């Protein structure tokens, strides 16, 4: 396991023209938003994989919506943390910076990042399963679960569920940025959900220096160039100096 050196990685980030940050639920953990896996990752004894599927929604839309409504309330009460803010500084500083997130919480936008590639959609967007109308709905809690569209059909969260395709435009931009990155930060993700986690491999093959920030090991920890065993809100500000 490579030994992490704050000064060395900070210098890499200063020198690089093409930087990608790839984030997961762990970056929002210090804001009080629960992660999906590990301790605190369960909701009423359900796994994320059992709720975030089209099948679960078809079976019990109210149950799935209760989970999303609970998450929306947690997120509404949360604020971006020092980890999110460090990525805003990086965006302002790097010649070419791409922020790719698996998070649907919107905390990167609220922190001030101008361009956020959201691989798994946005929890504040809702979409009708009947007429397809998509709109923003910032209410938390929602007054009725499941919400119903004017057309009479049930409305779903505007997120990507297991078994569904990623937004194609977003994925191709993310893939290209990963392939061309000089430095690729993977922050607060268990890196087990594909295709998103495959970006780490794509960046590695493209010759990027891979930097992992996570208190736990991931399937990619063995191939990274620098591993910081710690919380994003503590580690990231020390790398963006």
For ligand OAD, the nearest residue by Cβ is: 26
Output 18 or 20, the one with its CB closest to ligand OAD.
20
Torsion of CA 70, 66, 138, 164, to 10 degrees: 110
Q: Is 229 a catalytic site residue?
A: no
Strand partners, 22: 100, 186
Closer of 26 and 146 to ligand OAD (Cβ): 26
- How far apart, in Å, do the first and last CA atoms of the chain sit? 24
Residue (18 or 190) nearer to ligand OAD, CB = 190
Minimum distance, C-beta of residue 116 to ligand OAD, in the bound complex (Å): 14
CB of 237 to ligand OAD, least distance (A): 12
From 108, 120, 204, 226, active-site residue: 120
Nearest Cα to Cα of residue 108 among 28, 167, 228, 215: 28
Query: Whose Cβ is closer to ligand OAD: residue 27's or residue 177's?
Result: 27
CA distance 91 to 183: 13
Give the C-alpha separation, 152 to 164, whole Å.
24
CB of 234 to ligand OAD, least distance (A): 8
| Residue for token pair 């109210």 | 62
Taking the complex as a whole, the smallest distance from the CB of residue 223 to ligand OAD amounts, in Å, to 16
Residues of this chain that interact with ligand OAD (CB under 6 A) are 24-26, 29-30, 35-38, 41, 48, 52, 102, 120, 159-162, 188-190, 193, 213-216, 218, 231-232
124 in Cβ contact with 223 (< 8 Å) = no
- Active site (catalytic) residues: 120
């Amino acid at each position: 396991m490579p030994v992490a050196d704050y000064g060395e990685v900070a210098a890499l980030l200063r020198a690089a023209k093409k930087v990608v940050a790839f984030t997961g639920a762990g970056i929002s953990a210090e804001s009080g938003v629960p992660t999906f896996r590990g301790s605190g990752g369960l909701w009423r004894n359900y796994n994320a994989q059992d709720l975030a599927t089209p099948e679960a929604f078809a079976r019990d839309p109210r149950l799935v919506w209760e989970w999303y409504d609970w998450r929306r309330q947690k997120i509404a009460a949360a604020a971006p943390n020092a980890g999110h803010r460090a990525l805003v500084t990086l965006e302002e500083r790097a010649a070419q910076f791409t922020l790719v997130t698996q998070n649907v919480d919107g905390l990167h936008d609220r922190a001030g990042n101008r361009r956020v590639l959201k691989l798994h959609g946005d929890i504040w967007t809702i979409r009708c399963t009947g007429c397809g109308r998509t709109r923003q709905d910032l209410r938390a809690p929602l007054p009725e679960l499941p919400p119903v569209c004017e057309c009479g059909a049930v409305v779903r969260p505007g997120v990507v569920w297991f078994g569904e395709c990623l937004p194609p435009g977003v994925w191709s931009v993310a893939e290209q940025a990963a392939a061309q990155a000089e430095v690729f930060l993977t922050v607060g993700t268990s890196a087990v959900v594909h295709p998103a986690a495959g970006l780490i491999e794509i960046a590695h093959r493209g010759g990027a220096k891979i930097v992992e920030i996570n208190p736990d090991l991931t399937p990619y920890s063995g191939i990274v160039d620098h591993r910081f065993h710690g919380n994003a809100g503590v580690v990231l500000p020390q790398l963006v100096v």
